[in-house]
Structure 1
Amino acid sequence: MTSLLTRNALLPLTASLTLAPALAFAVPAGGYGDLVEQVGPAVVFIEVTSTRPAADNLPRNLPEELRKRFEQQNPQDKQAHGLGSGFIISNEGQIVTNSHVVENAQLVEITLADGRKFDAEVIGSDPATDIALLSIKADVDLPFVSFGDSDQMRAGDEVVAVGNPFGLSSTVTSGIISAMARDIHAGPYDEFIQTDAAINRGNSGGPLFNNAGEVIGVNTAIISPGGGSVGIGFAVPSDLVRDVVADLSDDGTVTRGWLGVSIRPMSDEVAQVLGYTQSKGAVIDGVSKDSPADKGGLQRGDIVLRFDQTEISDLRDLTRAVASKAPEDTATVTVLRRGKELALDITIGTLAPQEA
């Protein structure tokens, strides 16, 4: 049976941060009732009206001539409706969800657990990490939750997901963390938390809580043969989400560092020649002209071992390390070139949004 990797947020038409004090719940033998009573009011139901080109509904293998004829006969974009989840992170009304939940949104409506409804503004969105920041205005303080430290979570730790699967609001599921730092090839910054807590379409953007009631992940994707939960779900870790949200809240965009290289993994053969017990490092496969890497002296064939204090074991290590660096900062890049280690000081550039 072929598995299908899907984003789990949108149902088809037919279907500076303020942190709250950490909750100190130990899970009782009776279940998660006390914890859910505390965090549930901060989880919201998101309804999105968006526009999409009518041709998006056509089969991908449709001949180009028929596609053009359809576009001529149907020039207007079509409205689409979708559902998702989110959670409030400040009493002023900042809400975190997935980028794909609000993609191309014309209207975003938020429904709180108590039934109150608000129109939301999309402050900013980062498709590279699939995180978006919304805002609503209310005349009272709103319930909110805080971020926990996802780096402290381990495989086997208990977690609770709250969201709106298939439009069923305020649904609670529980499970454990199945794996950490999972790469599912969804983007350049993959480091997902894998969980067996049931996550389905409509859960996207909802929080994954630890036993202290802190958000340690944002539910984003599932692997499923039939579109429903089979116990393999993925959440963006809170340590990454916190940084992205802080950047979005500043000016609605995410600024990332840029080096200007193409990279490939270290081969096992080269690793053996170098005396490594396992392949590690990132091999520079190309250097863009006039890029920070070019100006800093990186060359094709260099093997990147360290970026500042970060050891580079695989390609993701370098990608994340560069992206987290502020533009115009200087980084010391340690490379292996023709058997000798070199330390190069490189001034980091700015990654253009389309390159993310």
Structure 2
Amino acid sequence: MQAKALTRSAEQLAPLRTFWLAMLAMAFVLAQALGAHARAAPESFVDLADQVSPAVVNITTSTTVAGPDGPGIVPEGSPFEDFFREFQDRNGPMPPRRSSALGSGFVISEDGFIVTNNHVIERADEILVEFFEGFELKAEVVGTDPNTDIALLKVEPEEPLQFVSFGDSDAARVGEWVMAMGNPLGQGFSVSAGIVSARNRALSGTYDDYIQTDAAINRGNSGGPLFNMQGEVIGVNTAILSPDGGSIGIGFAMAANVVTGVVDQLKEFGETRRGWLGVRIQDVTPDLAEGIDGLDEARGALVTDVPEGPAREAGMESGDVILAFDGNEIEDTRQLVRIVGNAPVGTTVRLRVLRDGKTQTLAVTLGRRETAEGAVPAAQPGGEPAEPETLEVLGLTVSPITDELRGELELDDRARGLVVTDVDPASEAYEKDLRAGDVIAEAGQEPLDEPAELETRIEETRDAGRRSLLLLVRRAGEPRFVALSVDPQD
């Protein structure tokens, strides 16, 4: 009887035992997965450093600095000023002196092409490259791009050099491990590690696309590579954010996908050749979007002016919103500038624009940015102003352009619009930086000549159920769009 009872008890416990065995198996699998995930963090960077070190170089530059012509080596008004002037009169001007600077770089081909920062080699008379193995070679400048702070150098090695390749910086993810190498503070071939802290950072340049990292970057690291864990260069270390010049864990590396395009052009042409659309643009803010017919959200690039150039030839107009460029949806002006700059000169691309509430496609043949830097926007067609009168509306006092105002504001003879003669400091217009002397060229994307036309545009905006009126404002010839609320109390 006892044996039968034990057997029944074992049979009753069997499902419970199966359940716990399954739970233990699941726990084991989970532990293995977590362990694998934890091992994603490298145990060390030894193998990676050994792999890429031969391709990383130290760069030393020498520059001849002319001696001062006068006693400027002491502050003006100093009691020593007369002494140094007499000294120079007796001994002649101080001779030129040599100045040295240090930086970093990396080899990208076995025949000796080297990438570094433009500011590392700018104005250098002599560039000396030191390799990991201990030998040195003189380098010549192939080309530079101050816009992205990239320079391409060339050395003539006796034997093929070890080199590194660029990776896809767009694939870099925030939080992944990276390693920086370079010549910080002249220490030479130094390694630091960290993570990608952020992407798509902009500092001050038009084509900025920086990877932010907390890997230690100091003076002398400029021009050195930022590696991913596969040994690919995903950025060129360029700048740091620091109150005292030392690393505080906020460093910036120009993204490799920007650098590769620049390097290819420098290698082929010795200079950059960026696409040029020929428009002035501004971001579409939510209040601007409210005033643009057919635009349901703040996106695209709003065209403020179309000077002589490719866009004008293709029929683009001020007030158009560029929604897509060559199949790429445009979110803001920064994205458009980068895409256009990366496009080949002379190619014909299709732009989808919003105009008068409807979309249309324009075919534009791109010019070259570098040859169009000094392009001046063309003035708008002329028109005779009406008799002088003023209007107070939306916190603004406006008047037609008179000969007197044209002279005071140095306006072109063909300029048209309404001159702002006063702005209520308590108004929305004042908050949005409208000031006396501004010229309102358009309202609701229609040209203005008389104050009454502005009143008409306001009423039309209200009747259409829109809350904002879009104004094209020019100040010293520079155009921008401003959206002002049109409530019934005005």
Taking structure 2 as the reference length, the TM-score comes to 0.61
Number of residue pairs the alignment of both structures matches = 319
CA contact (8 A) 1:311 1:317 kept: no
Change (3 A) 1:319 1:157: same
SS in 2 for 1:198: coil
- The whole-number CA distance in structure 1 between the counterparts of 2:232 and 2:359 is 43
Aligned to 2:130: 111
In 1, Cα distance between equivalents of 2:287 and 2:97: 53
Please state if 1:140 is matched with 2:153. no
Can you list the C-alpha shifts for 1:96-130, whole angstroms capped at 9, x where unaligned?
A: 00111111111000000121011001111111111
Q: Which residue in the other structure is 2:351 paired with?
A: 333
Matched, 1:194 2:212: yes
Tell me if 1:250 matches 2:289.
no
2:281 paired with 1:268:
no
Decide which structure has greater helix share: 2
| Equivalent of residue 91 in structure 1, options 104, 110, 126 | 110
For 2:348, the aligned partner's letter is T
Deviation at 1:77, TM superposition (A): 6.8
Query: Are 1:153 and 2:166 an aligned pair?
Result: no
Q: Which amino acid aligns with 2:166?
A: F
1:37 aligns with 2:56: no
- Give distance in 1, aligned partners of 2:93 and 2:315: 53
Q: Structure 1 residue aligned with 2:364, among 343, 346, 351? A: 346
- State which of 221, 229, 234 in structure 2 corresponds to 1:216: 234
SS of match in other structure, 1:352: helix
Give the Cα–Cα distance (whole angstroms) in 1 for the partners of residues 146 and 327 of structure 2.
28
The answer to whether the 8 A contact 1:109-1:119 is kept is yes
2:139 to 112, 115, 120: 120
Gaps of 5+ in 2: 1-38, 86-91, 375-490
CA distance in 2, matches of 1:121, 1:29: 38
Residue identity matched to 2:260: R
Q: Quick one: distance in 1 between partners of 2:372 and 2:140?
A: 23
CA-atom RMSD, angstroms? Answer: 2.6
Matched, 1:49 2:67: no
- Deviation of 1:342 (Å): 1.5
In structure 2, C-alpha distance between the alignment counterparts of 1:52 and 1:311, rounded to whole Å? 49
Bigger relative CO (Cα 8 Å, ≥ 6 apart): 1
Q: CA-to-partner distance for each residue in 1:292-314, whole Å, 9 max, x for gaps?
A: 11111111111111111111111
Deviation at 1:28, TM superposition (A): 7.2
Ranges in structure 1 where 5+ consecutive residues have no aligned partner: 1-25
State the one-letter code of the partner of 1:332: R
Gap change, CA 1:173 and 1:332, over 3 Å in 2: same
Once the 2 structures are TM-superposed, how far is the Cα of residue 168 of structure 1 from its aligned partner?
0.7
Per-residue deviation at 1:286?
1.3
In 1: Cα distance, 2:207 partner to 2:252 partner? 13
Preserved contact between residue 41 and residue 177 of structure 2 (Cα < 8 Å): no
Contact 1:52 1:79 (C-alpha < 8 Å) held by counterparts: yes
Tell me, yes or no, if the aligned pair for 2:61 and 2:127 is still in contact at 8 Å: yes
Amino acid at match of 1:150: S
The DSSP-based 3-state class of the residue aligned with 1:239 is helix
For 1:35, the aligned partner's letter is L
For residues 131-157 of structure 1, the C-alpha deviation after alignment (integer angstroms, 9 at most, x for no partner) is 111111111111111111111111011
Structure 1 partner of 2:390: none
Amino acid in structure 1 at the alignment position of 2:153: L
Residues 1:82 and 1:27: Cα distance change in structure 2 (over 3 Å)? farther
Match of 1:323 in 2: 341
2:193 pairs with one of 145, 159, 174: 174
Whether the 8 Å CA contact 2:233–2:256 is kept in 1: the answer is yes
Counterpart secondary structure, 1:47: strand
Q: CA deviation at 1:41?
A: 1.1
Q: Given the superposition, is the C-alpha separation of residues 105 and 341 from structure 1 closer, same or farther in structure 2, using an over 3 Å criterion?
A: same
Report if aligned partners of 2:282, 2:333 keep a CA contact under 8 Å in 1: yes
Q: Write the letter of the residue equivalent to 1:109.
A: L
In structure 2, which of residues 249, 253, 257 is the aligned counterpart of residue 231 of structure 1?
249
Change (3 A) 1:133 1:181: same
Q: 160, 184, 191: which one pairs with 2:203?
A: 184
SS at match of 1:219: strand
Contact 1:124 1:132 in 2 (8 A): yes
- Give CA deviations for 1:153-177 in whole Å, capped at 9, x if unaligned: 1101110000001001011000000
Q: Kindly provide the amino acid, as one letter, of the partner of residue 139 in structure 1.
A: E
Q: Supply the AA of the counterpart residue of 1:251.
A: F
Contact 1:27 1:211 in 2 (8 A): no
Q: Secondary structure at the match of 1:346?
A: strand
